[in-house]
Amino acid sequence: MERVFIEPTRVTPLVSFDPDTNILELKGRSSPENSILFYEKVHEILDNIIENDDINEVTVNFSFEYFNTSSSKCLFDVFKKLVKMQDSDKDLTINWCYEEDDEDMMEAGEDYADLLDLDFNFVEIEEF
For 86-104, what is each residue's pLDDT tens digit? 998 899 999 999 999 999 9
Pick from 61, 66, 76, 69: nearest CA to 111 = 76
In single-letter form, the type of residue at position 78 comes to V
**pLDDT tier for residue 126 given thresholds of 50, 70 and 90:** confident
Query: What residue ranges do the domains of the chain occupy?
Result: 4-125
| pTM for this model (two decimals) | 0.94
The number of residues in the chain equals: 128
The single-letter code of the amino acid at 84 is: K
Q: What is the CATH number of domain 4-125?
A: 3.30.750
